[in-house]
Structure 1
């Protein structure tokens, strides 16, 4: 199973031995063994669970993401116990002042992201000759940016952000040609997303970020300490770093939802300036997300494990064996 979605009104979660017992309007309708769970996503109105449930989920290594019922905005994130090895976090913090490391790390992230953006636009061009001009223009601009990343000197982070931003504008200008005009997608917008495509992109990026935080913590990394996205109050900056190369994969997946008419405009409603994905649409969204998510989750696990291995040897020198310390 891996992921449990709680998206029903008036839902209560209780413990029953080694399983979660799910009740709706007082009637029990399902059991979910704890051992099957890695993550729980709560988006239903009036979902109730007590401290025992949260404690048992944490002990079982399951993470909990709480989203607002309508806007799909993150409200809370509950993780299990931290990895108990300090060496990785010590070295991770030390690397913040290593400009060369931060520049290489950041360049590699942006290069991977732009490469995947180019790949998506090229793939789309083969199946959408009607959008060939817009896609070709985007491919050319992104390829130029990629060339500067691959052949130029190692860039400092501020110019790199400028290059990434310019590439993103060209990319989304090309990407909008893939969606029907009726969806109103004219480029990336958020807080709130103003059209169905952006509503899905925002939710997909939120779920990617959740998995990145979880993967970082399991590997012994501190999700708050990033090297491209610098530490900031209330932001898991390392998770923001890790998500960047995965965004084009999420973009392609969202395109597929609309191309295959898994989601249509009828699954959305307007609320003020925002566009909301309704409950029926969320059911389709999450079901298909879980079929695609293993790919990016495996990448996150591998990338975090590799970074942790690199840092562990550096941080270990700061940790003395207590039995060898002098009085």
Structure 2
């Protein structure tokens, strides 16, 4: 199964028999059987697709994602049947005001911080001999990150509202240590002064934001397939148009999917090119390729090897099962 990513302005998507037909400048550049497509992501302006393509995608369970040039998702086309599970959504709404919601919020941050630590450990292990001074600095930040993470274990409170401020304080202090560690790793290879979110114009943050957009689309699809309400989260606050639960689950996977991929690319001599404050088309294609490749990589999950994209889907289903009282929820932590 492959994910089709459209990055060129003016691309036309059509259907021929059981195949998706991709045309650029009037010429057919690729034909792909719909049965071989896992998702269709459109990350360019001026792209046209027929209603036949949309219907065929829905019938094959293919979600269509739309991203801006900076990687921010702004639309998704899915089957209305995905929102047909009532019991799970009823429990999801009720859980916000009881201990289940608090437990999920803590778990999402615990997973995020453990994966951030493991990303630093992954890159630090290659510096133990090659650069002992850098290794020592990274170890010091890892120790502080772990001390901050351990504060999650002593939280007291029964609802998300009671705990959210403390949880975000823990997350914020840990993030400072983590991103400082990333800055040390990158050194003089590329300028990176710290994490910036929307509107970032430096190469590293622009690349991270673009990668997060691709990840975010996969998480959204997994949340919907699990029968969950994307806009009813626990860690992130409610706001019209804000898919809080998608953002919640994305936190677990940011470091192990996107950060590791982009930091690794830069440390191996890769470059991120910008034009007029935005990523070049060539860079966006390369970033998309690398992030999607990482999603195809296997990690150990519940005693067996699974692709990361499959693990995301399984974690979404675990949230649903936890909300229905069928099992406990354990955040995913990637190996290092």
Q: Retained in 2: the 8 A contact 1:83–1:219?
A: no
2:139 to 130, 136, 156: 136
Q: What is the rounded CA distance, in whole Å, between the counterparts of 1:52 and 1:268 in structure 2?
A: 37
Residue 256 of structure 1 aligns with which residue?
264
Residue 20 of structure 2 aligns with which residue?
20
SS in 1 for 2:79: coil
Give deviations 1:247-294, integer Å, cap 9, x for gaps. 221211111111222x31xx41242xx3x2222222222222222103
Give deviations 1:34-91, integer Å, cap 9, x for gaps. 111221111234211133322322222111122224x333332222332422111111
* Unpaired segments ≥5 residues, structure 2: 297-306, 327-336
SS in 2 for 1:183: coil
Residue 308 of structure 1 aligns with which residue?
320
SS in 1 for 2:5: strand
Q: How does 1:1-327 map to 2 (within 5 A)?
A: 1-69=1-69, 71-81=70-80, 82-98=82-98, 100-128=99-127, 129=131, 130-151=133-154, 153=156, 156-249=163-256, 250-261=258-269, 263-264=270-271, 267-271=272-276, 274=277, 276-294=278-296, 295-312=307-324
TM-score of the aligned structures, taking structure 2 as reference length: 0.84
Q: Retained in 1: the 8 A contact 2:149–2:170?
A: no
Q: What is the rounded CA distance, in whole Å, between the counterparts of 1:75 and 1:309 in structure 2?
A: 28
Give the C-alpha shift of residue 231 in structure 1. 2.4
| More deviation, 124-133/175-184 | 124-133
Q: Retained in 1: the 8 A contact 2:43–2:68?
A: yes
Higher Cα Rg, which structure: 1
SS in 2 for 1:40: strand
Residue 321 of structure 1 aligns with which residue?
none
Residue 325 of structure 1 aligns with which residue?
none
Counting matched residue pairs gives 306
Q: What is the rounded CA distance, in whole Å, between the counterparts of 2:199 and 2:188 in structure 1?
A: 20
SS in 2 for 1:35: helix
Q: What is the rounded CA distance, in whole Å, between the counterparts of 1:282 and 1:200 in structure 2?
A: 8
Give the C-alpha shift of residue 201 in structure 1. 0.9
TM-score of the aligned structures, taking structure 1 as reference length: 0.86
SS in 2 for 1:103: helix
1:105/1:72 CA distance change after superposition, 3 Å = closer
Q: What is the rounded CA distance, in whole Å, between the counterparts of 2:118 and 2:71 in structure 1?
A: 29
Residue 304 of structure 2 aligns with which residue?
none
The two structures, once aligned, show a CA RMSD in angstroms of 2.1
